[in-house]
A and B are shown apart, each in its own frame.
Chain A
Amino acid sequence: MVTLTINGRPVTTTVANDTPLLWLLRDQLELTGTKFGCGSGICGACTVLVNDEAIRACSVTVASLADAQIVTIEGLAGEGRVQQPDSLAEQVIAAWIAEQVPQCGYCAPGLIIATVALLRRTPHPSDDDIDAAITNLCRCGTYPRIRKAIHRAASALPQSSHAQSPHGTPPAP
């Protein structure tokens, strides 16, 4: 039995300790915005935030996350959002729509999470920063638009913006 913090809420689970986080999210908690793509930590479709870092949920076990803060796409956006509005995530999602990034859309939640993690660390990334940080795969080939969307989201952030914790209070307006 392990207790994790997912989208700000404690979750106690009885799945086997070696179960990857991905399958706890998808099958037990029905948080299906986190996608299964490769199961090997390569494609990034299952990217979630673990203590603000972008992590492949298929490649970490539930047992290793007992003290971790986990945020999925549902924790950042949509009706199921369970925490305070995350203005950075909102900017990233708005940029994804404005640049009409998604085609099949299967990679989108993982990429948005990866971008949120990047912009928290590096609010105004260069193309090289983006190349290094965004390793998620998109088989539809939306990469040129992903790059544009990241720059668009970054340009909507204040120039002096500092990394903002998803669990802390949003900055004063």
Chain B
Amino acid sequence: MSPLINLSRRAVLKGSGALILGFHLPFLPVPAAMAGSSPMAINAWLKMSSDTVAVIVARSEMGQGVFTTLPMLVAEELDVDWQTVRAEMAPLDPVYANPLLGSMKTGNGTSLASGFLPLRQAGAAARLMLMAAAARIWRVPLTELTATAGVVGHAPSDRQASYGALAGLAGRQPVPPDPPLRDPTTWTLIGRSPPRLDSPAKVIGQATFGVDVRLPNLLHAAIRHCPVLGGTLGKIDDSALKAKAKDKERSPTGYRPGVIAVVPLTNAVAVVAESWWQAQTALADIAVSWNEGANADLTSASLDSALTKALDTTDSHAIAIAVSHGDADHAIAGAARVVEAVYHQPFLAHAPLEPMSATASVTATGCTLWLPTQDQEQYAKLLPPLLGLKPSQITVNTTFLGGSFGRRLESDFGIQAALLSKAVGRPVRLVWSREEDIRHDFYRPASVSRVTVGLDAADRLIGWRHRIVAPSILARVDPGALKNGLDSAMIAGLDDQSYALPALLIDSVRRDTGVPVGFWRSGWHSNNAFSTESMIDEVAAAIGRDPGHLRRTLLTDVPRTLGVLDLVIARAHWDRPLAPVTGGRRGRGLALHQAFGSVVAEVAEVTVFDDGRLRVDRVVAVVDCGLVVHPDVVKSQIEGAILFGLSAALTGKITFDKGQVLQSNFHDAKALTLAEAPTIEVYLVESREAPSGVSDAGTPPIAPALTNAIFDATGQRLRRLPVADHDLRAQ
């Protein structure tokens, strides 16, 4: 016999096994997708059954841990056993908009920051409503009740009821407008590291990613884009796919067995077939002519030279000033010493391990998508005009994302799947080959930055001038956000840099290149941290100062950043010499950067062998990301952010000839391997400030920490990434 009273029959549940517990936070309307599922679905962050609590997660899980950290916030206040908590992905609904991004979208390190207060309030309100429900049933005062570990208890009468049993009635209680939150000293989940909720399904291959969606009557599609970026489809000759005489009878479509349709798209051709392999091999047998368009002559050399040339533009309309305080030009003109350098950074692919994919089912009355996306809401805007539907007829189901790093903010693959389903009148699962994924990305923009620093006779920094030339992302995705020509995203990390500089001039020059560009883990912070943190190191070398200690003198007014720097200096044993190695030179490099509200400092240790081989031995990272909700997830994100950035810094580049991407798969668009990965130590600063972004914030410092370490080892200053393009042999 269960000691708990099961109220589910005599109360309000009407035989429903799982209940949705809603609460009426005034700023949250009813989620349409859940309105029909229960009379209590006022709004839902919680569904309860007798033995589980499902927390609705409104952010896409791409590895960063939101399926664990966001439920923790609800569960902490609700007071339930973590073993009973499940995470469930939210449908597309305005209720689930990210308050920091304005729509249902995941990115910019905002998930935890935006959820920290409302999700705890949601848990606290739900707990009070469960208690109110018990008080009504037992006719006892609320003050005599306890609610802990998933059970409401009334000690005087020795009665207990599970949350699940009370959920139905609880959903109809008035919502407490301002529920008190727990004293942080009594937290039992926040600040600890409970097991990730998504791991068990992932390790046994049972988690559903975009490529895994199954539906009745499902067809499979493969795609081939115009090889020249920006080009369009010309003519298709699919005669090689026509069924041979002996197959005609079993081929109602006229194509060879398995092939259902050849579908033209604006910039691509797709084949829909009974299996993906049939579709992919059929693509190879189609002859296509392309309209190559304006990029037909584009090469990496021409791009690099256009960006570099723009550094010297004198056209005041082309220059957008982001920050100007003091008179940097004057300070530099009168400086005792000037240090100047130009930094070149390449286009980079995202290359998440799961290639682009989406599944769509389009009918006359609606379109349902199942896909790994960081931006659900865009489809309700983009698809209706293409499909002749209303926004309310678009349903978006989010699968797990097999990595993303910003790539799945884009809409392309989802729209293609919908168009293919509409064309064949059946559900279609589109999966890109890896080659299409590498060649048709929205790349991290290449950039050329010039940094000029003036020092006085006492070697104090008196002026800093910083110009970045690059193609704009905002000009494509949100042109209205350009202000006086300034792409405010492009100068991220430059306008709020922490160093004490009496005169500072930061400006930017936008140069469209024809290459599609998009946000890549940490966005422009990756470009701007490299130029800034390389230059600080160059200044230190020029004046013969230790680069760690020079940074200290520039951060005395910024205690938070200084604290991170001091801790990394201590943990990395910065002041102790590295053990020498025969046949190689060792070096250590430091970089720090503030992004997404967090401060991260990293020290890289390298060995450069005399034959030119480079080994990254160890990285020590210190992170101040405010209050740490889940220390182990933070550490894992920093480890991952470091290795993602390291992979790019070592070998990452996308190059072009005749308008086409020269790389195609992991053999020439290399990704870091296990054998190449350094050991990583991550230290977290204790903080009571609100949580800030982590997954992105760990990436920017690693490239400059690496090249600063190579400089320390060899005296070679690498101002052009990737590192693999340089000869590091001992001279």
Q: Which residues of A contact B (CB under 8 A)?
A: 15-16, 19-20, 23, 26-28, 30-40, 42-43, 45, 72-74, 76-79, 93, 96-97, 100-109, 112, 130-132, 134-147
* A residues less than 8 Å from B123 (CB atoms): none
Provide a sorted-by-A list of 24 A–B residue pairs whose CB atoms are within 8 angstroms. A16-B277, A19-B277, A27-B277, A28-B275, A37-B354, A38-B666, A40-B434, A40-B665, A93-B203, A97-B195, A101-B203, A102-B203, A103-B63, A103-B636, A103-B637, A104-B401, A106-B353, A106-B402, A131-B675, A135-B673, A135-B675, A139-B351, A139-B405, A140-B640
* A residues less than 8 Å from B674 (CB atoms): 130-131, 134-136, 138, 143, 146-147
* Interface pair B212/A32, CB less than 8 Å apart: yes
Q: A15-B277, A139-B644 are in contact. List 10 more A-B contacts (CB 8 A).
A: A16-B278, A38-B666, A40-B666, A77-B203, A97-B200, A100-B195, A102-B63, A102-B199, A103-B65, A138-B674
Contacts A40-B434, A97-B203, A137-B353 given: A35-B677 contact, CB under 8 Å? no
* B residues less than 8 Å from A76 (CB atoms): 204
Q: Which residues of B contact A (CB under 8 A)?
A: 62-65, 193, 195-196, 198-200, 202-209, 211-212, 214, 220, 275-278, 351-355, 400-405, 431, 433-435, 632-633, 636-637, 639-644, 647, 665-667, 671-675, 677, 679-680
* B residues less than 8 Å from A30 (CB atoms): 214
Contact among A39, A79, A141 with B640 in the assembled complex (CB-CB below 8 Å): A141
Chain B nearest Cβ from A61, distance in angstroms:
11
* A residues less than 8 Å from B677 (CB atoms): 141, 143-144
Chain B nearest Cβ from A26, distance in angstroms:
7
How long is the Cα–Cα vector from A100 to B64 in the complex, in angstroms? 12
* B residues less than 8 Å from A77 (CB atoms): 203-205
* A residues less than 8 Å from B403 (CB atoms): 104, 106, 139-140
Contacts A139-B671, A143-B643 given: A108-B203 contact, CB under 8 Å? yes
Q: Which residue of B lies closest to A142 (CB)?
A: B640
* A residues less than 8 Å from B212 (CB atoms): 32
Chain B nearest Cβ from A37, distance in angstroms:
5
Contact among B220, B633, B639, B675 with A141 in the assembled complex (CB-CB below 8 Å): B639
* A residues less than 8 Å from B353 (CB atoms): 35, 37, 43, 45, 104, 106-107, 137-140
Closest 7 CB pairs of A and B: A33-B205, A141-B643, A105-B202, A103-B63, A106-B402, A104-B63, A131-B675
Chain B nearest Cβ from A158, distance in angstroms:
23
Contacts A137-B671, A140-B640, A141-B643 given: A104-B402 contact, CB under 8 Å? yes
* A residues less than 8 Å from B195 (CB atoms): 97, 100
Contacts A39-B433, A145-B636 given: A104-B211 contact, CB under 8 Å? no
Q: Which residue of B lies closest to A132 (CB)?
A: B675
* Interface pair B275/A27, CB less than 8 Å apart: yes
Chain A nearest Cβ from B558, distance in angstroms:
29
* Interface pair B632/A100, CB less than 8 Å apart: yes
* Interface pair B667/A42, CB less than 8 Å apart: yes
Q: Which residue of A lies closest to B352 (CB)?
A: A139
Q: Which residue of A lies closest to B209 (CB)?
A: A106
Q: Which residue of A lies closest to B664 (CB)?
A: A40
How long is the Cα–Cα vector from A131 to B672 in the complex, in angstroms? 12
How long is the Cα–Cα vector from A33 to B203 in the complex, in angstroms? 9
* Interface pair B666/A36, CB less than 8 Å apart: no
Task: Name which of A42, A43, A100 has the most chain B CB atoms within 10 A of its CB.
Answer: A100
